[in-house]
Chains A and B, each alone.
Chain A
């Protein structure tokens, strides 16, 4: 049985444990009384907050139950926010507005005091939950944009998008990529580009963090980032580096198609990187396990959650097999999910959080920090449509409510003009304000934890979704585990089938899309599209710079590449060799040479 099978067993066992506790609470009077006492104490110690009109409300809402069995079902089955199995939230207070002395009064440890770097909610008091996503043209252009975007931010939380050639690990001078240089993201070929990209930012500062949305060549890009930081701040900066790199190979193979080495080699290079960063850079999140792209490629919500979680467990199994302690890597895993409009989203992330916690605790032996499912949510880009596009504002607003009902740690709201182009400032602003209206202006989430949790409908969705996710796990297990299922293209074909069904439903009208197949007025307006394309002159500049770099380092590059190859062929961790190689080699030189040794990824259809 693979670890995934053990996870299924662990969840089943835990569910049985909960039922046993319910029975015990009812039959064992002493136990029942203890639970009731704890319950009453929690309620009585819950601070009271006041709405702007003066209405008093508790900061934590709990169901009106006093029967010990039901109390047991709640405390063990769901857990208070911030308590195992974390159904109601990874942390105690999430988005509540500042108030007095909740931590002191309850006497509980405030998880926020744990200084772990990324997930927004942990640091929400110190840092904005906003990440400023950008990537355009050449490194200096993105750098300028980063400075503009973060000028008024306390913290500098930069999120980097890369152009197509970089995502595929090829150089700007490669055949046929002219025209794509700097499109949709920044062009990075060398460590010198990486130095330019974050120029002027203090990479070792505790209020700086960098996020890099790249997976296929992630270990090489990670090495470039470290090398660039060392060039600017010396070797002592390395343990201080904070940020996230996506590095999610499984979802690339399942959905996003940006894989450059065969799967096993990709996973090996990833593990090499994770072994290095979790040891040397304890504030760096070396992988963001992403369901968003699986959802965008057309999966059902259940498939999205099931594949993302099972990918996560497969990574955990792999890292543990390499000998990395679970409490070293566990707390540095984070997740990224989509939130659309289907009913499943009412509880999808809640259930995911619970399954992750149980699996990590009981199948992997992770401690409390390694049990947390730290989640970034993005509203669904796929749910947005071009026809009568202003309706997308409403779609995104509804998705935001669902995302926060699930107690996501942070959230990105899409711009209504996304079906057309890279979002324009006008619509980005509206999207960001949507979040502020929900969290700051409205009283839905700022006064009381659990404000919208625990309705009979939500519970029904939780049960159905959990069962469906476990069924998917069993199917993957039956196919021999995640890696075998991926190689069998199981997840891919499931996602494609779901995508096709979705299109069919739109076409035959069983899935209503307002303005498209229902209530269409036919007068589609189109947002004013202002495109930023990389001028040919700039693209040529990137090519010329690269040529200069290659010429300057020609001799050294050969030696460095030979060394990387030797290390890979000996089966050792290649990350230190990559760190040396990026000083003198371009991204394309390294991937090209590695592909000679381990092969190229064979695309799946």
Chain B
């Protein structure tokens, strides 16, 4: 079966009209399309960077606040400038985009503008017809990011890709390896705040070392038999940065919180020029232990919400045995203190040097997140960074 079509959707800067795009996104994923949603109020640079990293077939822009002729054209121009004009641009804006505007936009390289009254069906058909065919062979990648993005696509589209896997590690009785890990895995139930926490950590990584580069591999579930809405980018404000390479993956039918291609993609990222690689699973259940089969991460972080229910529930959460660090996020909630002590007791049974940290990731400059950062950044720079500086 052919891989699902991947497209990126976004709303331009200074525009918060996301009602139309939300509805369109849902319609796309119901028809087998994987949508990386970047959110509203997004700059040209953010959109183009994300489209390249995600290696999408096209960018759909929904604009209701004017200035669309310039904005769409700037996206097209920047794609061209970055050597990524294989990514196409389409969009709409209800009645705000006139036929004359649309003609001008098409002259500047926009593929299609949908007018008010276009049915969702027609938009889905357009995407399938225009972007559903296999890609033409692409010219040699012009930048390292493009090359990496395209190789990730190759892996995802064909699981036979010959990519060197990292050696599988044993996991039993593994000592907690907290200091200076390269690949950090985040897992935990949906709504615990994993994405926000990662975004806050990225901010600290970027600020600590002005040269460091971070990769993020983020997962969202595929709708059964259909597409997927990959929306983590939309809530990330610090990770839209040229020093962050982020890739969103759909689980494509695989249980356990990761995608069939995760392992190989992660291996590629780990070999690439990043100081840290962060991997985020989909929201997981009690039995999940997503990183264990392959030993693919150096450090396991479990992010919990204080509202996990009764103490008994804790006994059933397998990741509590396996995590190196357990984070109780949203520790400003009333139940957080109880949660902390219950989890602490639960971890003591394991007799491993597991760490328990309370955070409020939504809070600016949260001291808990600082603590977590200090723990996983090891307080000193990695060898990789030093090596690169010398060269």
Residues of A within 8 A of B (CB): 163-165, 167-168, 170, 175-180, 183-184, 252, 256-258, 262, 265, 296-298, 385-387, 418-421, 487-488, 496, 499-500, 503, 507, 516, 524, 529, 531, 533, 597-605
Contact = CB atoms under 8 A, between A and B. Distances in A.
Contact of A420 (B43, B44, B95): B95
A265 B41 CA distance: 20
B23 A177 contact: no
A594 to B, nearest CB: 11
B231 interface: yes
Given A176-B45, A500-B22, 10 more contacts: A164-B14, A180-B65, A180-B71, A257-B16, A419-B95, A419-B116, A500-B23, A598-B364, A603-B234, A603-B237
B16 A602 contact: no
B235 A262 contact: no
B335 to A, nearest CB: 10
A531 B116 CA distance: 16
Contact of A603 (B17, B41, B65, B119): B41
B362 A164 contact: no
**Residue of B16, B39, B71, B363 with most chain A CB atoms under a 10 A cut-off:** B16
A487 B13 CA distance: 23
Interface in B190-236: 191, 196, 199, 231, 234-235
B173 interface: no
**Residue of B37, B67, B234 with most chain A CB atoms under a 10 A cut-off:** B67
Contacts of A605: 18, 22, 37, 39, 231, 234-235
B94 interface: yes
A300 B363 CA distance: 32
24 contacts: A164-B13, A167-B14, A168-B41, A170-B14, A175-B43, A176-B44, A177-B14, A179-B70, A180-B13, A180-B67, A183-B67, A257-B17, A257-B18, A297-B19, A386-B116, A387-B117, A419-B116, A499-B19, A499-B23, A507-B119, A531-B98, A601-B237, A605-B231, A605-B234
A248 to B, nearest CB: 13
Q: Which 3 A-B pairs have the closest CB atoms?
A: A164-B14, A599-B364, A257-B16
B16 A256 contact: yes
A507 B39 CA distance: 25
**Residue of B17, B40, B116 with most chain A CB atoms under a 10 A cut-off:** B116
A176 B362 contact: no
Interface of B: 12-19, 22-23, 26, 37, 39-41, 43-45, 65-67, 69-71, 74, 94-96, 98, 115-117, 119-120, 191, 196, 199, 231, 234-235, 237, 362-365
Contacts of A488: 191
Nearest to A260: B41
Nearest to B40: A257
Instruction: Give chain B's interface secondary structure class.
Output: loop
B74 A176 contact: yes
Nearest to B365: A599
Contacts of B120: 503, 507
A408 B37 CA distance: 39
A179 B117 contact: no
Contact of B23 (A257, A387, A503): A503
A385 B43 contact: no
B110 to A, nearest CB: 14
**Residue of B19, B23, B96 with most chain A CB atoms under a 10 A cut-off:** B19
Contacts of B70: 178-180
A262 B364 contact: yes
Nearest to A503: B23
B259 to A, nearest CB: 21
B117 A524 contact: yes
Contact of A179 (B18, B69, B94, B237): B69
Contacts of B95: 386, 418-421
B231 A164 contact: no
B14 A180 contact: yes
A222 to B, nearest CB: 20
Nearest to B74: A176
Contacts of A603: 39-41, 234-235, 237
A598 B364 CA distance: 6
Contacts of A496: 22
B369 to A, nearest CB: 12
A228 to B, nearest CB: 23
Contacts of A257: 16-18, 40-41
Nearest to A252: B16
A176 B43 contact: yes
Contacts of B40: 257, 603
B19 A600 contact: no
Given A168-B41, A183-B66, A603-B41, A499 B364 contact: no
Contacts of A500: 22-23, 26
A444 B12 CA distance: 45
